[in-house]
Amino acid sequence: MEHTSTIAVVGAGTAVHSRVAQVLQNRTKLALQHLQERVQAACERQADGAAAGPLLPWQAWASGAQYAVDFAQRSVLFWDALRQRGNNFIEHERQGLPPVLHFEHETVMDGRGFERPVNYALLHILPPAGMQVDAKRRPYVIIDPRGGHGPGIGGFKDDSQVGVALREGHPVYFVVFFRDPQPGQTLLDVCNAEREFVRRVRELHPDAPKPAIVGNCQGGWSAMMLAASSPDDTGPVVVVGAPMSYWAGAWSDDIGDNPMRYAGGLLGGTWLSSLTSDLGNGKFDGAWLVQNFENLNPANTFWNKYLQLFANVDTEAARFLEFERWWGGYFLLNGEEIEWITQTLFVGNRLWKDSRFDLRAIKSPIVLFASLGDNITPPQQAFNWVADVYGSTEEVKATGQVIVGLMHEDIGHLGIFVSGKVAKKEHAQIVSVLKSIEALPPGLYGMEISEQAGADGKPSHDVRFLELRLEDIVPKLNRFQREDEKPFEALQVVSEFNQRAYELFARPVVKALVSEPAAALSRAFHPLRFQRWALSDLNPWTWWLAPAAQAVKAQRQSLTPEHPARRLEATVSELAGAGLDGYRALRDAASEAAFFQLYGNLFAYLHPDDACGEEAPAVDPRGFPAVKQALAAVGSGGYAEALARVAFLLGHDDAPLPLSRVELAHDLLEEYRELLPALPRDEARRIGGEQEIIARYAPDQAIETLPALLARKKDRERLLTLLDRVLADRRVQRIRPSAQQVATLARIRALLGAPAPRHIPA
C-alpha cells in the first residue's frame, strides 16, 4: 500500500512538473512574441511618418527648436501638476480623508457612536437640483471597497452607480468609512453596523420595496455577508467585481491572467500581513494594498500614467488630479480585520463555509457583474462560489434563488466601478430591470445587453435573460475543471504553519520593539505617501514651480501630436511601455510557474489519491438531493404548489428570454393578484423552484397528482378561473403556443373536470 502511494506521488509530481514547464514555455514565447510585435509596429509607424513628411536640414533645425520649447514648457506644467497633487494629498489628509463623492450628502447614522463602535457611517445622497426622487421607490444602498483606498468611487462622478440610480428616481444611500478604525473593531462588528444601516433605510422608506444592496469589490463580499445575516431586511444584491471564490482563476497558455492569485503563496501565506500590522502598532496600512495593485501593472504605474499627463498636460491635469485625490487617500485597518480577511477569505477561502454566513439563506435575487478583462477579480472568483454553495442547478431552484450573471468583455477591475460607459450601459440596465429580475423563476441566468441606435440617434439597449445550467457553466469557465485550485489546499497548510510560527516566535519580539510614534513615522514615509508630500509646497525646492507654471501658461507654444518630434516622442514612449509590459508578462509567467511547481508537488505529497486527476463520473440530476426531496413531495401541497406546477407545465420555452416577456409575467402577477396565494415573494420563488423540478423530471406524475393538491372544490375553481382570465388576456393571446402546450392544458383541464378552453393558451 505504501509503495502504491509513493508511485502515485511520484507520478502526480511528474505530471505537475511537465504541465508547469509546458505552460511556462508557452507563456514566455507569447510574451516575447507580443513584445517583438509591439516594437516592430512602433518602428514601422515612425518610419512611415518620417517617409511621408521628410524634412530639409533647416526645417529639421526649426522643428527641433519648436519641440525644445514645447518640451520645456510641458515639463514645467508636468512637475507643477505633481506639486498640486502633493498639496491636494496634504490637504485631503488634513481634512481626515472625506469621501470623494461627486454628490452632496448628509449623515444618517454614524457607527462610531454604536454600542460596538465602528468607523463606518451611512450617508443619504441628496439629489442634484432639478432631479426628482420618489421616496416610495426602492432605495439603493451602495457599499464601497475598503481595500486601501477611501470610499466614494461608486459616486465618483455624474455617470456612476449613484448617478444612474438617482436618474431613475430611486433614493440612494452610501456606506462610507473613516480613515482610522475604532479600537477593537472587527469585520463582524462592521457587518452588524451595516445591518443597522439597512434597517434604518427601511424605516425611512416604509412604503418602498426592500433596499437593493450594491457591493463593489471587497464591498461585494461585505454585501453578501450582510444579506446572509439579515435576509428579511435586504432586497436584491448586486455584486460588482467582487472576489467570492478566492482560489479560483485562470491557468492557461495565454499571458496576463491572474497574478494576484499567487501572491499569497509566493509570500508564504498570511504571516506577512500580521507582521505589517504589528509594525503598525496593531494597525495595517492600506497603502500596502494599493502598492500591490500598482505592482500588477508596472507600465502604467511607472510610465503610462505619467506619460499621458506629460503628453497632454494642457487638458489632462484636471482629470489626473481628480483621480489621484482618491487614489492617494490611504486608509487603515485593525490587525484583527486584515487577519480575518487574509486567513478566512484570501488564503482560507472559507466565506461560503462560515456557519455564521450561510449564503443559501439569502432570499433575494443576486446579480453578479464581472469582467473578462479583470486580472484582480477574474470571473472565476466572482462565479465559482455558486457551484460550491449550491452544487447543482436543481439546488438553486429548490431554494427559490435567482442568480443572474452579467459579463463584460474587456473592462479592467477599476473600470468596472468608475467607467462612465459602464455606468451608462451595464449599471443603468441593472437598475432598470431589477424589478423584472425579481419576477424571474428560480434558477441561474445570463443577462445579455445589446446596444443599437435609437430613433433620436442616442444609444438604446435591449436586455435578454438566458437560462443556464450550473453544470454547463462551471466547466466552460474553468479550463482545468478546477484542478488548478488543488495546490491552494497545500498553500493553506503551509500558511497556517507559518502563521503559527510567527505568532509564537516573532510576534512578541516585534510588539516589544514597536511604539505608536514609530508606527506613525513608518506610515508617513511609506513610498506612496512620500512621493506625494515630498513634491509639494512642503519642499522648499519647489518654490519656483507655481510662478513658472503661470508664466508658461501665459506664453504657451504647444505642438500638435502630428509634429515629427512629437511622433518620435510617442514612439520612444511606446517602446518603453512595451518593454515594461514584456517584463510584467515574463514576471507573471515565472511567478505562476513557481507557485504551481511548489504547491502542486506539495499537494501531490499531501493528497496522493486526489492528485491523479481522474475525471469525475457523470451524475444523473435525478440523483441530486434537491431533486429526490422534491419528487418525494410530488403529491403534497395545496393551491400554491398546484399553481406553480401548472405555470411551469404551461410555460413558454424561450431561450433567451426577452425582457418584454419577463415584464409581461410581472404585469400579469400584479393584475391577477387576487387569484394568487398570499405568500412572501421569496417563499413563492422557493415553491416555484421546487415545482419546476417536479414538472421537469416527473411531468406525467406532476399532472396526475394535481387533483390531490386541489382537493378542495374552491381551489380548483380558483385555478381554472385564473387560467381562463389569463388565456383571454390580449397580451397573452399574441404569443403563439406549441402543440405540447395545447395538449398539456387540455389534459390538466380534463383531470380537474373542466370543459375545453375557449382561448388558445400561451
Instruction: Report the half-sphere exposure of 593 (CA within 13 A, side-chain side).
Output: 20
In a domain, 340, yes or no: no
**H-type helices in 469-563, by residue range?**
470-477, 487-501, 507-513, 516-524, 527-533, 545-554
Instruction: Return the pLDDT at 614.
Output: 55
Q: CA 685 from chain center: how many Å?
A: 25
Among 466, 489, 512, identify where a domain stops.
489
For residue 422, give the C-alpha cell.
459602464
Q: Look up residue 707 and give its DSSP letter.
A: H
Provide the pLDDT confidence category of residue 468 given band limits of 50, 70 and 90. very high
Domain co-membership, 426 together with 386 = yes
Residue 761 has pLDDT above 50, yes or no: no
Residue 584 has pLDDT above 90, yes or no: yes
The rounded distance, in Å, linking the Cα atoms of 582 and 42 is 15
The rounded distance, in Å, linking the Cα atoms of 600 and 596 is 5
Q: In what order do the strands lie in the sheet with 366-371?
A: 105-110, 120-125, 172-177, 140-143, 212-216, 237-240, 366-371, 402-408, 443-453, 459-468, 657-658
Domain co-membership, 591 together with 697 = no
Strand spans (E) along 50-135: 105-110, 120-125
Residue 223 to residues 211, 368, 406, Cα–Cα distance (Å): 12, 12, 18
For residue 156, give the C-alpha cell.
465618483
Instruction: Return the pLDDT at 294.
Output: 94
In a domain, 293, yes or no: no
- Three-class DSSP category at 658: strand
Residue 681 has pLDDT above 90, yes or no: no
For residue 593, give the C-alpha cell.
510557474
Query: To the nearest 10°, the Cα dihedral for 11, 12, 17, 23?
Result: 130
The rounded distance, in Å, linking the Cα atoms of 249 and 384 is 9
**Whose CA is closest to 100, among 287, 323, 317?**
323
Provide the pLDDT confidence category of residue 12 given band limits of 50, 70 and 90. low
Instruction: Return the pLDDT at 728.
Output: 80
Provide the pLDDT confidence category of residue 615 given band limits of 50, 70 and 90. low
Range with lowest mean pLDDT among 177-181, 323-327, 680-684: 680-684
Checking DSSP bridges between strand 402-408 and strand 366-371, what pairing results, if any?
A: parallel
pLDDT digits (tens, 9 = 90+) for 688-724: 999 999 988 998 998 899 998 888 989 888 888 888 8
Provide the pLDDT confidence category of residue 14 given band limits of 50, 70 and 90. low
The rounded distance, in Å, linking the Cα atoms of 319 and 589 is 34
Q: 487-501 and 564-606 are packed helices; what angle lies between their axes, rounded to 10 degrees? A: 80
Residue 743 has pLDDT above 80, yes or no: yes
Provide the pLDDT confidence category of residue 619 given band limits of 50, 70 and 90. low
Contact 723, 758 (CB under 8 A): no
Instruction: Return the pLDDT at 511.
Output: 96
Contact 391, 623 (CB under 8 A): no
Among 615, 639, 655, identify where a domain stops.
615
In a domain, 259, yes or no: no
Mean of pLDDT values over 725-732: 80
Domain co-membership, 608 together with 675 = no
One-letter amino acid at 94 equals: R
Domain of residue 574, residue span: 1-54+562-615
Checking DSSP bridges between strand 212-216 and strand 140-143, what pairing results, if any?
A: parallel
In a domain, 335, yes or no: no
The rounded distance, in Å, linking the Cα atoms of 39 and 236 is 48
Residue 736 has pLDDT above 90, yes or no: no
pLDDT digits (tens, 9 = 90+) for 280-298: 999 999 999 999 999 999 9
In a domain, 757, yes or no: no
Domain co-membership, 740 together with 697 = yes
DSSP codes joined into one string, 427-456: IHHHHHHHHHHHTSPSEEEEEEEEEEE-TT
Among 599, 615, 631, identify where a domain stops.
615
The rounded distance, in Å, linking the Cα atoms of 544 and 2 is 77
The residue ranking higher by pLDDT, 463 or 652, is: 463
Residue 12 to residues 2, 7, 485, 599, 614, Cα–Cα distance (Å): 15, 8, 15, 12, 11
Residue 723 to residues 84, 97, 344, 643, 705, Cα–Cα distance (Å): 69, 60, 51, 10, 18
CATH of the domain at 381: 3.40.50.1820
Instruction: Return the pLDDT at 403.
Output: 96
With 0-12 / 13-18 / 19 or more C-beta atoms within 10 angstroms meaning exposed / middle / buried, residue 524 is exposed
- Three-class DSSP category at 235: coil
Domain co-membership, 694 together with 745 = yes
Residue holding cell 506629460?
310
Instruction: Return the pLDDT at 690.
Output: 92
Structural domains of the chain, count? 3
- Three-class DSSP category at 554: helix
How many Cβ atoms sit within 10 Å of the Cβ of residue 180? 16
Mean of pLDDT values over 224-249: 93
For residue 348, give the C-alpha cell.
482560507
Domain co-membership, 158 together with 118 = yes
Provide the pLDDT confidence category of residue 653 given band limits of 50, 70 and 90. low
Domain co-membership, 110 together with 240 = yes
Strand spans (E) along 347-437: 366-371, 402-408
Domain co-membership, 630 together with 596 = no
Domain co-membership, 418 together with 461 = yes
In a domain, 63, yes or no: no
Residue holding cell 505530471?
15
Domain co-membership, 144 together with 30 = no
Please name the residues in contact with 604: beta carbons below 8 A apart, sequence gap of 6 or more.
Answer: 8, 9, 12, 13, 16, 611
In a domain, 267, yes or no: no
In a domain, 606, yes or no: yes
Range with lowest mean pLDDT among 13-17, 38-42, 99-103: 13-17
Query: To the nearest 10°, the Cα dihedral for 191, 446, 438, 630?
Result: -90
Domain co-membership, 713 together with 650 = yes
Mean of pLDDT values over 257-274: 90
Provide the pLDDT confidence category of residue 1 given band limits of 50, 70 and 90. very low
Average pLDDT over the chain reads 88
Residue 429 has pLDDT above 80, yes or no: yes
Please name the residues in contact with 87: beta carbons below 8 A apart, sequence gap of 6 or more.
Answer: 536, 537
Domain co-membership, 578 together with 639 = no
Q: Could you give the percent of the chain with pLDDT greater than 70?
A: 91
